[in-house]
Chain A
Amino acid sequence: MSATKQPSANPLTLKERIKVPRQHMPEQAAELRVLNFKEVNLGYSTELARQEALRCLECAKPTCVDFCPVGVKVKEFVQLIVEGNYLGAAAKIREDNVLPAITGRVCPQEDHCEGSCLLHKKVDSLGIGYLERFVADYEQRMSVPPAPNAAQTGKKVAIVGSGPAGLSVAGDLVQKGHEVHVFEALHEIGGVLVYGIPEFRLPKQVIREQIETMRQMGVEFETDVVVGKTVTIDELFGEEGYDAVFIATGAGLPVFLNIPGEHLNGVYSANEFLTRINLMHAYEFPKYDEPMVDLRGKHIAVIGGGNTALDAIRSARRLGGEKTYVIYRRSETEMPARIEEVRHAKQEGIEFRMLTNPVEFLDDGRGWLKAARCVEMELGEADASGRRRPIPKAGSEFDIPLQVAVIATGTSANPLIQSTTPGLETNKRGYIVADAETQKTSKRGVFAGGDIVTGGATVILAMGAGRRAARSIQEYLNSGQW
């Protein structure tokens, strides 16, 4: 396998590569992991990573790169793994993605890179997410100092919100030599990564390390600042002297079902349920002060079919929930959750009650939930989202006994910034209007991206918006042209 003959270091022929099976991600056994909050996936060894990397067909036109919202150069970083140059691979990813250890864990790869992988036509797609995670964790263990930034430009950029979109912009712009200041409303940095995604899927330590890297790069963070309340956007431009502002405040208030009994004790929104557990450590009560309903031996259901729903119900299982259900009004095919999470949830003993929709929560007579009255659904014609519309079956009502129900059916727009920022246009649902290419808003110098523009989406789509915003902020700061 001399490098002069072959452009690739991969010694296998294409036929041989297809024969190598997708390398299984080592994971904690289901019966053990339901007793703890430790990470489910344990990560590839170098040997597994190399074996997996050898499967890459090294397409002349790699669709995986086109399908990545931030354009990670998948083929190139996988080739570097084959060569054994793991730090080189990490640096290659970092050219496009400032949070590889996070996206390697939570990105819905099947909708992006892996879904487009040519291997997928014949066998399992390349484990791009697993490989990304491998090199990111490797780089972390080696404590590689971040690449130096460009010379200081003297320009100041304020970033509102420290979730995936905000961090993505911060990472990109600090490297260009701008002064970058990130404002966070909560007491911890990371937004949805810390309040929304549980430890068993994305350990806090991984987030902390990524944030620490950004601090070393020169990004400044300030917690406990609610922009729109503590300070307004106009004040950021005025007395605080910023040249550009990026708004990435994320998802807003939870949407409820508007059915009777929703105010009973024991009925939570997923945001509250997960915030108590993840951000406030309610599962470590009384070491931490935040209270939580005791879930041991209880019957618990989550309503919804996305990643948030699965995060909530898998947390409930770990907190001792005896019967744990996912109640979803469509079928499993339409569930927006990552395939891996669905598989993990089933292994953990969570029951899937598909084509089921609650119509009422029933009172135990003391103000607490005792059951969800549900109807069976069937699928009709496709709706605006392209998914088949669920229709209730007449006379199919039945009760599921429950003490806790968690509603994970989406969020609406947070109103705080819009209501205190004159000249910032919003759409009829209250989300900030931003250009799809440049992320520019209707207000000069203000850019926006992530869930506050699109409504609830994914980490990687928010980061994609961050990348685009960083590019156009850079242009704006250079040219002064709006």
Chain B
Amino acid sequence: MFKIRGAEFIAPGIKRFAIEAPRIARKHEAGQFLILRLDEHGERIPLTIESADPAGGVVTIVVQSVGKTTYQLNALKAGDAILDVVGPLGKPSVIEKFGTVVIVGGGVGTALAYPTTAALKRAGNRVLSIVGGRNRDLVILEKEMRAVSDELYVTTDDGSYGEKGLVTDKLRQLLDAGETTRLVLAVGPIPMMKAVADLTRDRGIHTVVSLNPIMIDGTGMCGGCRVLVGGKSQFACVDGPEFDAREVDFNVLMQRNRMYRETEQRSLEEYKKRIESEELKGQDASCLAQGVKP
């Protein structure tokens, strides 16, 4: 069992957990992920590690409620425990002194980009960050990102905060204004990463994306996480999760990620129904108000 040391919502439906996992905390490098399973009947889900404190034996993850498992996870509190946590998995981000780098984080993707951003900053890069969300509430980790960026831009789809528009609009604007960069790192929803790749491909800018395919074991056994990169099958768990954005077939990724949408939907609806029918009291209700009910 892995004890939850801390749990707090950082946006509606988005929660940060600090989990006691000393072995993982000691070995974590930016860009890596873990896999967790909540209970005996749970599925295994991959989640990027946001930060690690080797001395305290704790890793943090940022979780957005999208399916049954993440809803269930976001209903957990400090003091609760998770049955299985394994990691750190995947190859770490390549951290070098590139010069100027641009980080693009969309929604919860910002939390996933954060450790790599911090590492790139520490490596002496000039870091320009663009973080965005659908609305003001869904712009997360602005303060943390600002601390590790030379310049930070915020965009929202509805204009409720920062500049109105998409992160890719801002990226285009920077590049058009003559900003030269050796690396763009984009982490977020697949359409966003695809749009970034399309934008940088023509300009010949090396661009890295962190992919989130369906995954089960995460250790190079099952092959469920295969992605089409440069026309060849690659496995996100051992070859990734970061890949050269210009080589990734995003359409195949999107199509494969939809494979279980119906069953996932059914799972989530049944879970919500069960929760609603249960008697909810005290602190549970406040937790559910933010985490379970969208």
7 inter-chain pairs at a CB distance below 8 angstroms, sorted by A residue, are: A226-B219, A230-B88, A262-B233, A265-B255, A279-B217, A292-B260, A294-B263
Please pick, from B24, B222, B223, B256, the residue contacting A265 in the complex, using a CB distance under 8 A. Answer: B256
Interface check B216, CB cutoff 8 A: yes
One digit per residue, 1 when the CB lies within 8 angstroms of any chain A CB and 0 when it does not, for chain B 100-144 equals 000000000000000000000000000000000000000000000
Q: How many residues of A contact B (CB 8 A)?
A: 44
Chain B residues within an 8 Å CB radius of A291: 43, 260, 263-264, 267
Known contacts A229-B88, A230-B24, A286-B270, A271 near B43 by CB under 8 Å: no
Q: Count contacts between A and B, CB distance < 8 Å.
A: 126
Contact between A289 and B235, CB atoms less than 8 A apart = no
Contact between B220 and A416, CB atoms less than 8 A apart = yes
Please pick, from B216, B220, B233, B263, the residue contacting A280 in the complex, using a CB distance under 8 A. Answer: B216
Distance between Cα atoms of A38 and B279 in the complex (Å) = 38
One digit per residue, 1 when the CB lies within 8 angstroms of any chain B CB and 0 when it does not, for chain A 238-274 equals 0000000000001111101010001111000101100
Please pick, from B41, B223, B233, B260, the residue contacting A271 in the complex, using a CB distance under 8 A. Answer: B223
A271: min CB distance to chain B, Å:
5
A235: min CB distance to chain B, Å:
9
Distance between Cα atoms of A415 and B259 in the complex (Å) = 28
A368: min CB distance to chain B, Å:
9
Secondary structure class of chain B's binding surface, majority of residues: mixed
Please pick, from A265, A276, A293, A415, the residue contacting B216 in the complex, using a CB distance under 8 A. Answer: A276
Please pick, from A269, A276, A367, A416, the residue contacting B219 in the complex, using a CB distance under 8 A. Answer: A416
B267: min CB distance to chain A, Å:
6
Known contacts A231-B27, A263-B226, A286 near B89 by CB under 8 Å: no
Residue of B nearest to A414 (CB): B220
Interface check B83, CB cutoff 8 A: yes
One digit per residue, 1 when the CB lies within 8 angstroms of any chain B CB and 0 when it does not, for chain A 416-450 equals 10000000000000000000000000000000000
Please pick, from A252, A269, A286, the residue contacting B267 in the complex, using a CB distance under 8 A. Answer: A286
Please pick, from B42, B86, B249, B256, the residue contacting A185 in the complex, using a CB distance under 8 A. Answer: B86
Contact between A289 and B222, CB atoms less than 8 A apart = no
A481: min CB distance to chain B, Å:
32
Known contacts A187-B37, A289-B41, A291-B263, A226 near B89 by CB under 8 Å: yes
Contact between A416 and B27, CB atoms less than 8 A apart = no
Considering only residues 72-104 of chain B, those with a C-beta below 8 Å from chain A are: 83-89
Interface check A175, CB cutoff 8 A: no
Distance between Cα atoms of A276 and B217 in the complex (Å) = 10
Interface check B69, CB cutoff 8 A: yes
Contact between A252 and B221, CB atoms less than 8 A apart = yes
Chain A residues within an 8 Å CB radius of B172: none
Known contacts A226-B86, A262-B233, A289-B267, A415 near B220 by CB under 8 Å: yes
Using A263-B233, A276-B216, A289-B43 as known contacts, list a sample of 20 further A-B pairs with CB atoms less than 8 Å apart, ordered by residue number in A. A185-B86, A185-B219, A195-B221, A225-B23, A226-B86, A229-B87, A230-B27, A253-B235, A256-B233, A263-B255, A265-B259, A271-B222, A272-B222, A275-B222, A280-B44, A289-B68, A289-B267, A290-B216, A414-B220, A416-B219
Interface check B224, CB cutoff 8 A: yes
Interface check A224, CB cutoff 8 A: yes
Chain B residues within an 8 Å CB radius of A415: 220, 238
Considering only residues 195-231 of chain B, those with a C-beta below 8 Å from chain A are: 216-217, 219-224, 226, 228
One digit per residue, 1 when the CB lies within 8 angstroms of any chain B CB and 0 when it does not, for chain A 293-333 equals 11000000000000000000000000000000000000000
Interface check A149, CB cutoff 8 A: no
